Chain A
Amino acid sequence: MRRHLTLVLWLAAVALMLLYVLLELPQRHWNSSITAAMPGTTTPWQNQLMQQNSSSRHLSLLLTGQPLPQLRQAAVQLQQQTLPGLSWYQPGALMQQLQQQYQQHQALLASPTALAQLQSGQYQQLVDAAWQRLLSPAPLLAEALQYDPLLLTQQFIEQQAPVSAMQPRHAWFESSEPAAILLHASLSIDPFDRTDAGKLAAALEHQLQQLQQQDPELQLARSGVLFHAVNAADNASFEMQFYGGLSLVAILLLLGVSFYSIKPLLLAAVVLGCATLSGLAALLMLEPQPHVLALVFATTLIGIAIDYSFHGMLAANKGRRYFRAMLPSLALGLLTTLLGYLTLTVLPFALLNQVAIFMCAGLTAAFISVWLLFPYWLAPQSLQNNASLLHCCEQISSRYNNTSALKVWSGALLLAALVCLWLLSQARFVDDVRLFNQSPASLLAQEQQVRSLGSQQWDSRFIVVLADSAEQVLQQEQLLLPLLKHWQQQGWLKDWQALSQQLPPVQLQDQLQQQLQLAYQSEPVQQYLSQLQLAAPAPRAERLQPDNFTSVLLQQLFSLQQHSASVILLSGVNIPDTERAQLNSMAQIHWLDPIADTNQVLAQLRSQLGHWLLLALAVTLLILLWRLGIKAACAITLMLLIAVGGALLLSQLLQQQLNIFNLVAALLVLALALDYGVFFTARLSSADVYQAVLLSAVTSCLAFGLLSFSQTPAVASFGVTVFCGVALAALLAPLLTVVSVKEGNKHGTL
């Protein structure tokens, strides 16, 4: 009765989870941003700013390879087909709109040179410049002379637009030498949202392919976060399915070879299914926008959860008593693995938190499934062990057992010392978030091609001006101008883009109005006005402000909870640290370098993880001392030291550097290797332990080893270290029987 109730409860739990996942999964949006997966900045306003920042919601397409008329035709065709979530910029229309706004506010805007001349009373220079502009055959703004006889706003506009190889046209930028058209678009969807971004990118790609089919000579270059994010998400999705599928097939084959029966396959499939379902349900329950990379890491669940199935099958096959004897070791193994993953949940590292949630829930479900189902579904002696495999395990066991304890102790001590010393001398950690994700070379080349022709090549570093109001922000930007100009003159800064370049603060507009009234009274200007038979205009009452101003640059102005902030974009940044330090003395100016900040947090986390690894080793030693005695504890700790140290050392030698993911992997190696240690020092039959650990190690090596081929460097690093660690642990763990357990004491089973 109790047995049935347990099974019903288990089934109900599985059904509930399945229902929850089926309901939630289609609605959930998956994130593919590598930066979102990394540790973030800690200042609240910085987080708000980064969330509001829409710099990733743009894309550019460069059309080349054909004469301009054909390129224009292709561009028109592309823009005629509307795509939901994407709107094409119309640079010509935007510039015209900007010009119209300036035209309605003439005499409120002047270039910095004209302002300086006004302030210093150099009125003749202003008059000369006005004459020159007036006599030019180039068109003038409407009503220019009525409101702004010195044509200061006219000249302000003419100093605004960047002079570059690409000229703005109504709906795109184009250049004749070489013939090229550059299209810019903005996105209303989040490019890191797997679902929306995937749909948009696919639809756009379809249009581009159609264009290229019509005109094979047409060359297209893409630029924008969307392309990289979708590529990364597709890659992660493919890897998750490919590596996960491959692991599963290999594991099921291994089971088939081991037991010559379909029943173990079904049992293993049930355990793996439950584990995956629980992991997914927990992730969906606790994370509003899970990361696709978390699922790639989570494919390793298969490799660990299947271990529980092996141990459970072998023990259940021997009978209930043997199964009960095996359970404490399995529970201890689960506990150590869970502890390893739980440590990751306290880190401020979104990706690792999600992996930990998935794995903890998945492994617990796998353990519970083995515990509840196997004794009832697998009758004793119902499985036939593969005789060859068993023989092989016995052979290995006897080989290991023939080694003398003294040799093992001295060899292990020497190896541990060598590994630790070599690792300390060789280890070189690189905490650069950019190395964790790699876009395909062709996409990077296209990005470079677009950037080399387009004018917008802003650095990832920028300056933030933080103040109580938008007006104060614009005033602060103005104060910063001399320093930016100085850096530009010194060649430390190529260019910058700030809102105050298009929209001066009201304070400056007031000042200009006052200065102009003084100028109109001066002799040179009076003479100029009389030559033109014009009267001096009255001061203007209206002002140009963010509320009545429309421009793309307004996207650089942010309204935070208690502040207003503006971003000053920079290009060609090579500012010495001593110079940049000047910004620190300006209270409301902040230098932001998201990549460097993330790298710094990564470095801190990595150092923290290193300490945790040592702490985990020390705690393990204490627990083992308490449970197994000094000999077994020291032996297991030595094995752990060699496995973890060796894994890191091999990773360093293979990758030429280490990163935080190698350390995360080292924590997992510690947990897995401890499992093997616990089983080999338990009073269990050698051949059974060999068989179970051999199968476990092979499956873990498969699951993690495959990850080392991942296109995502972060995932590959993780896979390499766990693979090396598990392989080393599996090779060394059998020696524990030699040094800690006497053969006569082995009377149990798994």
Chain B
Amino acid sequence: MNRLIALVLLLIVSLPPVAVADQAAALLRFAPLQGQLDFVQLKTVQGLPVPLRSKGYLQISADKLLWHTTAPVDTQLLISPAGVSQWQQQQYVAVAGSEFVGQLLLAVLQQQQDFILAHFQLATGQNNCLLLQPVQPPLNQLFSQIELCGQHSLEQLILTELNGNHTAISLQPATGTP
């Protein structure tokens, strides 16, 4: 009898968090992105009269991401869990303090459940979008919200910074080789 009561109590105690975690995980419905994708980025920066539009392609592999902007200027970034590195004078130069941005972009594009559930509170937004609200530093000191939108796969992500800047990145399958 005591064992039965204990089991019932255990179930009562352990069910809610499991259920919450499952619900959150269920919201992550996008398939992980791999390979090459074209992107268009629209960056709205304080003090800039018009949003900054750029385009290029992404090369996503298991542990890194090549961010190649082709217009308006040709620039390359290598993004990995170690951070963002800029292509300067024929070599990648690490940007200090960008580790979390690197981890975040990889996690979002590859839909890494563990990272997302550990760092964000998930909610459903308008237009089939998923809202990610950072819950701990340093992400919550940089971003107020990250929005992931798309039907079956991730088609757009919007990074809203605390300082009012926001970046909308639209993704689509690659149209041709670069």
B1 interface residue, CB < 8 Å from A?
no
List the 6 closest pairs (A to B, CB-CB), nearest first.
Answer: A142-B163, A161-B96, A146-B47, A132-B75, A170-B137, A161-B97
Contacts A160-B96, A161-B97 hold; do A135 and B50 have CB atoms under 8 A apart? no
Q: Contact check: which of A131, A145, A169 meets B73 at CB < 8 Å?
A: A131
A145 touches B48 (CB 8 A): yes
The residue of chain A having its C-beta at the shortest distance from the C-beta of B88 within the complex is A129
B24 interface residue, CB < 8 Å from A?
no
How long is the Cα–Cα vector from A157 to B45 in the complex, in angstroms?
19
How long is the Cα–Cα vector from A161 to B87 in the complex, in angstroms?
19
A136 interface residue, CB < 8 Å from B?
yes
Of the listed stretches B11-19, B148-156, B164-172, name the one at the interface; the rest are far from the partner chain.
B164-172
B143 touches A139 (CB 8 A): yes
B48 touches A158 (CB 8 A): no
A574 interface residue, CB < 8 Å from B?
no
Interface residues of B in 110-155 (CB under 8 A from A): 136-138, 141-143
B46 touches A146 (CB 8 A): yes
Contacts A143-B46, A163-B83, A534-B48 hold; do A135 and B75 have CB atoms under 8 A apart? yes
Q: B47: which A residues are within 8 A, CB to CB?
A: 143-146, 534
How long is the Cα–Cα vector from A229 to B19 in the complex, in angstroms?
52
B96 touches A531 (CB 8 A): no
A159 touches B96 (CB 8 A): yes
A139 touches B161 (CB 8 A): yes
Q: A158: which B residues are within 8 A, CB to CB?
A: 95-98
The number of inter-chain residue pairs (CB within 8 angstroms) is 104
CB distance from B44 to the nearest CB of A (A): 11
Instruction: Give per-residue flags for A3-29: 1 if the beta carbon is below 8 A from chain B beta carbons, else 0.
Output: 000000000000000000000000000
How long is the Cα–Cα vector from A415 to B162 in the complex, in angstroms?
87
CB distance from B58 to the nearest CB of A (A): 10
Report how many residues on chain B are interfacial, defined by Cβ distance under 8 Å: 43
Interface residues of B in 60-104 (CB under 8 A from A): 67, 69, 72-73, 75, 77, 82-84, 86-88, 94-99, 101
A581 interface residue, CB < 8 Å from B?
no
A169 touches B72 (CB 8 A): no
A741 interface residue, CB < 8 Å from B?
no
CB distance from A183 to the nearest CB of B (A): 16
A388 interface residue, CB < 8 Å from B?
no
Q: B36: which A residues are within 8 A, CB to CB?
A: none
Q: B67: which A residues are within 8 A, CB to CB?
A: 136-137
Interface residue range, chain A: 35 or more
Q: B46: which A residues are within 8 A, CB to CB?
A: 142-146
23 contacts between A and B (CB under 8 A): A128-B75, A129-B86, A131-B72, A132-B77, A134-B43, A137-B101, A137-B105, A138-B95, A138-B101, A139-B161, A140-B163, A141-B163, A142-B163, A145-B47, A146-B46, A161-B96, A162-B96, A163-B82, A163-B96, A532-B52, A533-B48, A533-B50, A534-B48
Q: A141: which B residues are within 8 A, CB to CB?
A: 163
Q: Contact check: which of B45, B141, B159, B161 meets A96 at CB < 8 Å?
A: B141
B54 interface residue, CB < 8 Å from A?
yes
Q: A129: which B residues are within 8 A, CB to CB?
A: 86, 88
Q: B69: which A residues are within 8 A, CB to CB?
A: 135
How long is the Cα–Cα vector from A142 to B163 in the complex, in angstroms?
5
Q: A139: which B residues are within 8 A, CB to CB?
A: 101, 142-143, 159, 161, 163, 165
How long is the Cα–Cα vector from A167 to B139 in the complex, in angstroms?
13
Interface residues of B in 9-30 (CB under 8 A from A): none
How long is the Cα–Cα vector from A134 to B75 in the complex, in angstroms?
10
CB distance from A131 to the nearest CB of B (A): 5
Instruction: Give per-residue flags for A108-148: 1 if the beta carbon is below 8 A from chain B beta carbons, else 0.
Output: 00000000000000000000110111111111111111100
A167 touches B99 (CB 8 A): yes
CB distance from A76 to the nearest CB of B (A): 12
Q: Contact check: which of A135, A145, A159 meets B41 at CB < 8 Å?
A: A135
CB distance from B124 to the nearest CB of A (A): 24
How long is the Cα–Cα vector from A352 to B41 in the complex, in angstroms?
73
Q: A532: which B residues are within 8 A, CB to CB?
A: 48, 52
CB distance from A179 to the nearest CB of B (A): 14
A92 interface residue, CB < 8 Å from B?
yes
B176 interface residue, CB < 8 Å from A?
no
B73 touches A95 (CB 8 A): no
B52 touches A135 (CB 8 A): yes
Max chain A Cβ within 10 angstroms of own Cβ: one of B69, B95, B142: B95
CB distance from B51 to the nearest CB of A (A): 11
Q: B88: which A residues are within 8 A, CB to CB?
A: 129, 132
CB distance from B26 to the nearest CB of A (A): 23
Q: A167: which B residues are within 8 A, CB to CB?
A: 99
The residue of chain A having its C-beta at the shortest distance from the C-beta of B75 within the complex is A132
Q: Contact check: which of B43, B94, B143 meets A135 at CB < 8 Å?
A: B43
B178 interface residue, CB < 8 Å from A?
no
CB distance from A346 to the nearest CB of B (A): 55
A95 touches B45 (CB 8 A): no
How long is the Cα–Cα vector from A534 to B41 in the complex, in angstroms?
20
How long is the Cα–Cα vector from A146 to B54 in the complex, in angstroms?
20
Q: B43: which A residues are within 8 A, CB to CB?
A: 134-135
Given contacts A142-B164, A163-B96, A532-B48, 13 further A-B pairs with CB under 8 A are: A132-B73, A133-B86, A134-B43, A135-B75, A139-B161, A139-B165, A141-B163, A143-B46, A159-B96, A161-B97, A169-B138, A533-B49, A534-B47
B137 touches A132 (CB 8 A): no
B72 touches A140 (CB 8 A): no
B138 touches A170 (CB 8 A): yes
B86 touches A136 (CB 8 A): yes
